[in-house]
Amino acid sequence: MVRSRIHAADSQEEARAGRIPVTGPIGGGMIHVIRGLLVRGRLTWLLNRYDRLPVMAAFSCINGFISICLMALLAVVTGSPFIFPSLGPTAFLFFYTPLAPSASPRNTVVGHAIGVAAGYGSLVVTGLTQAPPAVGHPITLQRALAAALSLGATAGLMVLLRSPHPPAGATTLIVSLGILAAPPQLLILLLGVVLLVLQAIVINQAAGLPYPLWNPVARSGDSETPSGKGAPS
C-alpha cells in the first residue's frame, strides 16, 4: 500500500504529508530543493504566484549555469581541465533527483572512479596510452575496441559494486577516446567530480533536503515495507 501511494501520489501531496518522495512526476526531487531555498530566502511568493514548471526551469537553468561556471572558472584559473563533458549529466542529476541513489556522493565518486580506471585500463590493454585523441580523427579498430571495452567494464563494475551512476559512462569514453588520457589529467578529472559533489552537498543541504554526505539515503518506502510485508496481496 505504501508503495502504491508513492507511485500514484503527486509529489506535492507527498510533501503536504510531510514526506519527501524520491520519485515524483516531472519534478523529481527538484521542487523540494527549490521550495527549501525559497523558504530560506523568504521568497515563497515566487512559488505561489507562478506556475511550478517555469520556476523549476528557471531554477535548473540558473543552477546549471552557476555550477558549471564555477568549474570552468577554476579550469581557466588553474589551466587544468576541470571542465569536461561528463560533469553535465552529473550536475543535472544532483539537482533534478537529489535523493535518488544514483545522485549520492558515493555513487558519483565511485562511478566516475570506475569510469576513469576502466578507461585507462582499456587504453593500456589496446596500447593506446600515447595515441593522439580520437576527436576529429578517423577511428581505428583499436580505438573502437578500447571504447567498447571501457564502457562494458564500467557498466559491469558499477552494477557489481552497486554504485550505478550513468554519467560515468561518459567519463570512461572521454578517457578511452583519448580526449583526456594523461594520468595527471585523470586526477584533475576526479577532483572536479569531488568539487561538484561538494556543491551539491552545500546547495541541497541549504535547501533542507536530507542529501547524504556519502551513502545513498534509504527510500521513503524502505523503512515502512520491510521485506515486502506491506505490499498488497
Within 23-82, the residues that bind other proteins by CB under 8 A are 23-24, 26, 28, 30, 53-54, 56-58, 60-69, 72-73, 75-76, 79-82
Q: Shortest approach of other proteins to residue 163 CB, angstroms?
A: 6
H-state helical runs in the chain: 2-8, 11-16, 30-40, 45-49, 52-78, 87-96, 105-126, 141-160, 168-176, 183-206
Give, as ranges, the residues between 214 and 233 that touch other proteins (CB under 8 A).
216, 218-219, 221-222, 225, 227-228, 231-233
Q: Is 208 in the site for other proteins (CB under 8 A)?
A: no
CB under 8 A: which stretch of 42-50, 177-185, 193-201, 206-214 binds other proteins? 177-185
Q: Which is nearer to other proteins, 60 or 205 (CB)?
A: 60
- Between the alpha carbon of residue 81 and those of residues 47, 101, 138, 148, 198, the distances in Å are 38, 27, 24, 24, 18
Residue from 221, 223, 193 nearest 91 by CA: 193
The interface with other proteins within residues 114-173 (CB under 8 A) comprises 133-139, 143-144, 147-149, 151-160, 162-164, 166-173
- What is the rounded distance in angstroms from the CA atom of residue 6 to the CA atom of residue 116? 36
At closest approach, how far in Å is the CB of 33 from other proteins?
Answer: 12
Can you tell me the distance from the alpha carbon of 110 to that of 120, in angstroms, rounded to the nearest whole number?
A: 15
Q: Is 191 an interacting residue with respect to other proteins (CB under 8 A)?
A: no
